[in-house]
Amino acid sequence: MRQRAARDQKRLDSGAVSSPKDLENLQHEIASLAKRQGDLEDIVLEVMERRESAQERVAELTERVASVQSKIDDATARRDAALEEIDGEAASVGKEREVVAGSVPADLLKLYEKLREQQGGVGAAKLYARTCQGCRQELAITELNEIRQAAPDTVVRCENCRRILVRTAESGL
Ligand SMILES: [Zn+2]
CA distance 132 to 25: 105
Does the pTM surpass 0.75? The reply is no
pLDDT for 135 beyond 90: yes
Distance 114 CA to ligand 1 centre (A): 15
Q: Coil, strand, or helix at residue 134?
A: coil
Distance 162 CA to ligand 1 centre (A): 6
Distance 107 CA to ligand 1 centre (A): 21
Spatial neighbors of 170 by CB under 8 A, at least 6 apart, are 128, 129
| Average pLDDT estimate for 17-31 | 87
Spatial neighbors of 134 by CB under 8 A, at least 6 apart, are 119, 122, 124, 125, 158, 161, 163
